[in-house]
C-alpha cells in the first residue's frame, strides 16, 4: 500500500513483521515513519499498536477480493484468479508454467530465442544472414 495520512482508517491484511494488530481489524493511523515504510495505529479503544509495515494494510472501505468474489460471475473470478497482484496484473507462476508446458514446440522455441543475436526483437523473422548480408 502507498503511504496513508494520519487519521485515515486502515484494515490489517497480513503480518510480515510480527506486529500486534489483528489481521482483519480496522484501525486509525496515528504515526507514520517514512524512513522504513511503517506506521502505528489506534484500535477502537484508543490503544496504539506497534510499528506495522504499509504493505500489511489497506485503506478501510476499499473494494477487496472477498467483495469481488461475491459480486462478479464465477468465470470472471476464475480468470482473475490466474493472476498475481491487483495492479499491473501478472500471470501467476503456475499458469505461466502450464501455458509453456502445453506448447508442442517449446524446446524448439527456446532454442530459437537462445540462438538469436542480441538486439533482434522477439518475433523478428529476419535471419542472421539477412541482417549482415542485405
Give the residue extent of every domain in the chain: 9-59, 65-114
Q: Three cell numbers at 129?
A: 544472414
CA proximity to 8, closest of 22, 38, 28, 23: 28
CA distance 33 to 53: 10
Residue 4: pLDDT band (50, 70, 90) is: confident
CA distance 120 to 132: 12
Decide which of 3.40.50, 3.30.70, 2.40.160, 2.30.30 is the CATH code for 9-59.
2.30.30
CA distance 1 to 85: 12
CA distance 100 to 103: 6
The pLDDT of residue 46 is: 94
Task: Give the bridge partners for 58, in sequence order.
Answer: 11
Taking 80 as the threshold, does the pLDDT of residue 42 lie above it? yes
Between 47 and 66, name the one with better pLDDT: 47
Are residues 9 and 57 in contact, defined by beta-carbon separation less than 8 angstroms? no
Distance of CA 91 to the CA centre of its chain: 10
On whether the pTM is more than 0.75, the answer is no
Amino acid at each position: 500500500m502507498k503511504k496513508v495520512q494520519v487519521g485515515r482508517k486502515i484494515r490489517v491484511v497480513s503480518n510480515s513483521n510480527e506486529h500486534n494488530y489483528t489481521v482483519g481489524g480496522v484501525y486509525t493511523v496515528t504515526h507514520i515513519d517514512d524512513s522504513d515504510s511503517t506506521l502505528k495505529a489506534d484500535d477502537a479503544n484508543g490503544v496504539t499498536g506497534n510499528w506495522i509495515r504499509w504493505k500489511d494494510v489497506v485503506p478501510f472501505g476499499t473494494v477487496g477480493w472477498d467483495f469481488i468474489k461475491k459480486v462478479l460471475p464465477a468465470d470472471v473470478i476464475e480468470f482473475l484468479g490466474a493472476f498475481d497482484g491487483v495492479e499491473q496484473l501478472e500471470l501467476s507462476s503456475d499458469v505461466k508454467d502450464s501455458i509453456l508446458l502445453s506448447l508442442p514446440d517449446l524446446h524448439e522455441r527456446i532454442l530459437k530465442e537462445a540462438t538469436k543475436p542480441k538486439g533482434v526483437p522477439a518475433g523478428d523473422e529476419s535471419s542472421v544472414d539477412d541482417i549482415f548480408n542485405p
